Amino acid sequence: MAPPDRPRLRVALLGSPNSGKTTLFNALTGLRAKTGNYPGVTVDRRQGIAATAGGPVEVIDLPGTYSLQAISEDEAVSVRMLRGEIAGEERPDGVVVVADATTLQRSLPLLAEALAFDLPTCLVLTMVDELKARGGEIDLFALQRELGVKVLGVVGHKGLGVADLRDLLADPAAWPRPAAPPPAETQARFEWADRILAAATRAQPEDSALTRRLDSILLHPVGGGLVFLAFVALFFQSIFSWAAPAMDLLDGAVGALADWLAGVLPPGWAASLLADGVVRGVGAVLVFLPQIALLFALIFFFEACGYMARAAFLMDRLMGWVGLEGRCFIALLSSYACAVPGILATRTIPSPRDRLATILVAPLATCSARLPVYALLITAFVPAEPLFGPFDLRGAVLFGLYLLGAASALAFAALFKRGLLRGAALPFYLELPPYRFPSLKAVLIQVWLRVWMFLRRAGTIILLASVALWALLHFPAAAPAAGAGPAEAARTQIEQSWAAGIGRALEPALAPMGWDWRIGVGLVGSIAAREVIVTTMAQVYAWEDPAAGDANQDADGFAAFLRRPDPVTGEPPLTRASAIALLVFFVYALQCISTIAVIRREAGSWRWALFAVAYQTGFAWLAAFLTFRLLA
């Protein structure tokens, strides 16, 4: 298929959070969308190409906003885009204001603000099927007549009305414009909106009975918190239980491919590099792909159905106790997928002090990159003993690690807000959308995009780290003792390698936690990305005793190997105490170059980025030391 012509028109989508704007954007652009930053501005942008009868049209998904009287950086970007004040960007040729038909009274004032920019503007009502199901009815023709702009109704996840919108996008200059602009003063705008709705509304939608019943439980001051804790516990238990069969299949496939390569290639460094450095190295992390996909699927599902907004509401009181507000919790919640988008999400926080405090603690939220490390060590050293119902000890330990990260983030935030970053909080408001069953297709698309990002990461950062580690382990070449077998020769090579030199330089700082130089090599590798330590440990320990290769193919894979006594020393690579200490270290340590770089960019200087590295790494060492001494 030939690439589409260069778009001659640009149209911006403007709407509040939970208005269905992203669903509509996906329906218009499909998988032809791309993400990036606005030129000269560190705010995410999504843009894509919509095919129309008049040719391709570039669609820009502006940040969600309730008002164009900007109080945060992402809201300011929407204003600057509509004014044409972003360097290298022209004003859009038209603006599509996206509004939830069931809460139209909250969106019409935003439409009034958009019309003040004197750009061709139309109104698209989403959720019209839900409006009808709840007994509501809006006369679209009357609404269009009263507003003086084109009005369309769509059901984005079903594609209803999307074709009509495509036709409309083809020629924004032909869109009708109101005879007189709406009033500019805030109170007058809301009165104008009420007047428009009174003329166009035939029947008001009833409150959602489902939402009312669920919120009576989920937002209860006591019961809501207990349900939230139960939900989180089940969430982490499912990550272990549901993903296990797929992980076993991947583990077997990786081992089989590595063995096949080792068998068909001539013995030598090339075979070792491909089989061990590439396949086993990258495969050690890819094995955890089912858990990561399940993590994202559950997060996106509960975001789309409306529960995550309730979780932020429940946490607002706790956030207020530490000196922050609900928007900060939403940023921290995003950090559980990855700290980078979590830190970027702080742009919605209007208070600079609150934003900086959230940036400094966001890496303490347990991101998906930690999951391979947690899963490996928990599988190796925590028995799958049943606790009660569907919960077992492994799921409980995983939940405990996530809870420890969350509690620590709040504790450090409280410390910063009462010291370095003291200041008053601004008012917080949050719309609680009705509960909706999300589109399975939309959830799968979001999961696939995250999985693809992980695969790209595995194909770049993790692959490069694996190859670099292989080289560090195999050079300089060491001559084994006369008569030495394969295991002794491999041990000699590793112990005299450059990697061993790096690890031994760190060993004095690692010995108090029961770690040797091999863990030091893994910690250095994990600076590129936390999950790289799994690749590093797999290479270091697997090559240390290649005779154990067949045993690595049991149900627990490499995890079982970590429990097995070394044939020379009689000690396993890790004890339970040293493994738990390593888990605690990874709760706190800032082992991610990407996160450090984003902190520097968002905080505005290296001073805060280095401060984050220093306090988190220092506390990680102290916490790991105390954990080891307690359990040893």
Containing 397, the helix (H) or strand (E) segment is helix 393-417
Q: Which amino acid is at 560?
A: A
Write down the pLDDT at residue 631.
Answer: 94
Domain boundary among 525, 550, 574: 574
CATH label of the domain that carries residue 54: 3.40.50.300
Residues of the chain with pLDDT under 70: 1-6, 31-45, 236, 239-240, 337, 423-430, 486-487, 542-557
Instruction: Report whether 540 contacts 566 (CB < 8 A).
Output: no
Write down the pLDDT at residue 499.
Answer: 85
Confirm whether 176 is domain-assigned: yes
Q: Residue ranges of the alpha helices (H) in 279-370? A: 281-286, 289-305, 307-321, 326-334, 339-344, 352-361
Write down the pLDDT at residue 508.
Answer: 94
- Alpha-carbon span 145 to 162, nearest angstrom: 22
Confirm whether 432 is domain-assigned: no
Write down the pLDDT at residue 405.
Answer: 94
- Alpha-carbon span 578 to 54, nearest angstrom: 65
CB atoms closer than 10 angstroms to residue 108: 24
- Alpha-carbon span 546 to 552, nearest angstrom: 10
Q: What is the dihedral of CA 591, 595, 600, 602, to 10 degrees?
A: -150
CB neighbours of 188 closer than 8 A, spacing ≥ 6? none
Q: What's the angle, vertex CA 573, arms to CA 569 and CA 575, rounded to 5?
A: 105
CB neighbours of 298 closer than 8 A, spacing ≥ 6? 235, 238, 239
Instruction: Report whether 620 contacts 589 (CB < 8 A).
Output: yes
Query: Domain check: are 258 and 152 in the same one?
Result: no
CB neighbours of 410 closer than 8 A, spacing ≥ 6? 318, 319, 322, 361
Instruction: Report whether 251 contacts 287 (CB < 8 A).
Output: yes
- Tokens encoding 431: 């719309």
Of residues 113, 195, 97, 116, the one with CA closest to residue 154:
97
Query: Domain check: are 80 and 183 in the same one?
Result: yes
Domain boundary among 178, 206, 234: 206
Query: Domain check: are 37 and 110 in the same one?
Result: yes
- Alpha-carbon span 232 to 610, nearest angstrom: 32
97: β partners? 14, 123
Instruction: Report whether 393 contacts 387 (CB < 8 A).
Output: yes
Query: Domain check: are 178 and 48 in the same one?
Result: yes
Query: Domain check: are 13 and 161 in the same one?
Result: yes
Number of residues written out for the chain: 632
Give 227's Cβ-side CA count (13 Å radius): 16
Query: Domain check: are 190 and 54 in the same one?
Result: yes
- Tokens encoding 207: 């409150």
Write down the pLDDT at residue 143.
Answer: 95
Confirm whether 465 is domain-assigned: yes
If one counts the domains in the chain, the total is: 2
Give 284's Cβ-side CA count (13 Å radius): 28
Write down the pLDDT at residue 429.
Answer: 65
Residue 70 structural domain: 9-206
Of residues 556, 549, 454, 554, the one with CA closest to residue 244:
556
46: β partners? 35, 61
Query: Domain check: are 195 and 256 in the same one?
Result: no
Write down the pLDDT at residue 428.
Answer: 61
Of residues 539, 502, 534, 536, the one with CA closest to residue 517:
502
Task: Report pTM.
Answer: 0.68
Confirm whether 580 is domain-assigned: no
Write down the pLDDT at residue 39.
Answer: 41
Write down the pLDDT at residue 211.
Answer: 85
Of residues 75, 158, 22, the one with CA closest to residue 433:
22
From residue 204, alpha-carbon distances to 17, 143, 197 in Å are: 22, 14, 10
Write down the pLDDT at residue 548.
Answer: 41
CB neighbours of 67 closer than 8 A, spacing ≥ 6? 75, 109, 110, 113
Confirm whether 363 is domain-assigned: no
Query: Domain check: are 60 and 145 in the same one?
Result: yes
- Alpha-carbon span 70 to 83, nearest angstrom: 13
Strand order of the sheet with strand 9-15?
34-37, 44-52, 55-61, 9-15, 94-100, 121-126, 150-153
User: Under the phi-then-psi rule, with left for phi > 0, alpha for psi from -120 to 50, and beta for the rest, what region is 20?
Assistant: left
Query: Domain check: are 110 and 181 in the same one?
Result: yes
Confirm whether 49 is domain-assigned: yes
- Alpha-carbon span 543 to 135, nearest angstrom: 68
Query: Domain check: are 494 and 564 in the same one?
Result: yes
Confirm whether 332 is domain-assigned: no
Longest dimension (CA), the chain: 96
Confirm whether 145 is domain-assigned: yes
Query: Domain check: are 90 and 167 in the same one?
Result: yes
Q: Coil, helix or strand for 12?
A: strand
- Tokens encoding 533: 């330590």
Domain boundary among 528, 556, 574: 574
Rg (CA), the chain: 28
Q: Coil, helix or strand for 432?
A: coil
CB neighbours of 443 closer than 8 A, spacing ≥ 6? 297, 300, 301, 304
Q: What is the DSSP letter of 571?
A: S
Give 593's Cβ-side CA count (13 Å radius): 12
554 exposure class (CB count in 10 Å sphere: 0-12, 13-18, 19+) = exposed
Instruction: Report whether 190 contacts 174 (CB < 8 A).
Output: no
Write down the pLDDT at residue 44.
Answer: 61
Q: Which residue has the tokens 């994202």?
A: 296
Instruction: Report whether 205 contacts 135 (CB < 8 A).
Output: yes
Query: Domain check: are 114 and 257 in the same one?
Result: no
Instruction: Report whether 528 contacts 465 (CB < 8 A).
Output: yes
Instruction: Report whether 25 contacts 33 (CB < 8 A).
Output: yes
